[in-house]
Structure 1
Amino acid sequence: MQNIKVADDGNAICEQLLFSKYDLPYVLKIPVSDLRLIDTGNNNHNPTILIRKDVILLRTGFISCIIRYNEIWLFDGTNSVVINAKDLISRNLKKNNNNTSKNCNNRIVESLCNKSGTDNGQKNVKQTDGCEKEDVKQINSYEKEELNYLNVINNFYRYNKGKAYFEFLCLDICMQLSIKEYENDLEGINYKIRDIILLQRKEENNELNMLTNKLLRDMMKIKNNLQKLSNLLNALRTNIEKILNNEHDMKNMYLTYLNKNKCNNLKDCSDLEILLETHLQLTDELYGQLENVEEKITHYEELMRLNLDYNRNKFILLNAKISFSTLLFSISSVVTSLFGMNLKNFVEDSNYAFISVSIFVSVWSIIGIYVTKNINTLLKFFDRYNFR
């Protein structure tokens, strides 16, 4: 497991521990039933956010973690998403410590400038102001690079300028990276759908499209994966809504505040509310995109089924044409074979026997050609008069 802990001096200690997850209930004093809900080894559970005493248990579908006021336990430390979360949390903590140290140095410089002469003091103040502006520009550029690295609209920790609690920083980064993974999965599904649609359009002009059945099976597999993704995202969105509607849970999420204050007299939860509402908006937008993709899949599934029905009707017509052609050919063969037998039919001595037989066979051949070309009309006639 991956553990990130904030020491008493404010420095972040990041280490990967050979620690069994089954020992966590005894170390962190959390119920085993709650641990089972966020366990990455159990794929039967949906994303969930549990608020317990002095701890937040989070499962987003890509990241499972246990957050306390000064540390975070990340499951599956070898996962790439978990590694990104660890790096971002450590980087933000180091940046926060650097900002606090710079603020302390600036305060010392300002106090020294105030004690010095007025003229020299004004010059020093201008210099320090210039340095502060340069530092602000560097910090803003660094934050923009971090935003591009995340490639997610929300960055709660940046807007709070390092004043957010440790638990909110961890919660925000884990949620951002998870939503980004949902976006990547949805984009991958979109690419697969486009490839299937292109193949379908290439083959739809052919007389018989033999790829339709295979493409339909592939589309059904993609639809199943999309349904699983939709269920996970919907569960995450539902959990965020539950917390927003429960003021008691929101107050209990202020782990750092509760660790310093015995009584929960917190009245303002606006910063946490902004964080949760931002992620709720992102999940709503992503869920809307999922519904649009699902509608697109349903639309093309109907088109493929129509194409399959069209091909099936073609085979049925071909079978009917072959059957009628065989029937008429058999009738003509029977008539001609009668004259090949050594039977007295009182016609073999006639001069018009050969001509009459030839005319009969030719007429039946013409009728057979006409019937096979207009097989639809004949089938409608049979359906109308209930011929079986």
Structure 2
Amino acid sequence: MDKLRDEFDKRKEDGIYFPLARFGKYVITADGNQIVMRAETQTEADEVTAWLQQQGYADAKNNEESVRLDANRSVSPQFVKEMHDNITGKLGEDSPTAQAMLDELNQLFIEYLPNQSSRKNMIHRKNKAGYSNDIMRSFARTTSNMARDIANLEYSHQVGEALRDAEKEGRKLASTDEQREARKVINHLYELEKDELTHQDSSFVRKANGLGFLATMAWNLSSGLVNLSQAPILGFPMLATRFGDAATMREMMKSFTTTLKSGRFDAYLFDSTRGLDANSDEYKALKELETLGKRDMSAMMEIQNASSRASATLNSNADRWQRIVDAGSIFQRASELMNRDTIAIAGYRLARKGSNTVAPMSHSAAVDYLAKVLDETQFDYSRQNKAGMQRSNTGQFILLFLKPMRLIILI
């Protein structure tokens, strides 16, 4: 959150356009729909409606947002393309009339995109009062939505191709029973894809998870030390099988020393980039891994929490609560960064040098290899890495500690 605030302050100094936002599924309207507000609970919506009525807006009312089927909310990209080609073909690309029609077409397309899409920010403002003053949350949600859209552009077609390939392979199976079992697996994968695109954690689950963490692992030095065991117990064997025991041990000791010397009494405690030349390949590799979300998983979770919780405003109750949870995770976060940086720096140097059985890798190949190594050797508490029964809001609450227990048992 501190890095997010710093980034927001930099953007604010530049005087950039910043999208307005409203949060919640309960819509409050007043003054002939010239005031449009949102609330996250029915109680909050009723309170705001009553306040507006006291201010003289007799027509103030609220209702839950309509939930329409995806099929009824979509505008086909193919339809948009055909309309674009027809308009520009008949009126010309630079015609003022064509530009106005294309703008209306674009607004129609954006209107029916999912609320999580970053392109929602491109809807023209209608000068209606009622937007949220919670600028930090707006900034965090915009950042999170843009990251999601970029990930979809990067990987959605790969996921689609993999699922289609799985269907083809399933149809090639010899027996009807095998095909039936394969269809069940493929259908489950499609359900997981849909769930990932539509799921939203409830505020209760986020608070319960935070409370459970504070009650068990917060400020717990022993938990941090357990986390540190991942580097020698999981990271070392994976690197040593490719580059040899002696070379791996030597590089891991060097990288651990580099990480240890980077210690500071601040929010990050250990950050190996402080001890590396900013022009070095190792520094660039760590920054690329950070961009891929492989270095500091805690920072990613903070941005997601800020974009979805009731308020990210500085000194709000939600912000104070999150700061307590973040402070309690100091040992876990420090050990996580130490593990990942130790393995990443050692692995990068080994990959670039190669071994008797492994040819030296290029910079990009080494970064890709290390991304896979970190995925396979480090704890991943994200919802995507949980069993099916833990992915729902109810499952996350009831089985809160199942994932940490399973990961510690693996070590």
TM-score, normalisation: structure 1 = 0.22
Larger Rg: 1
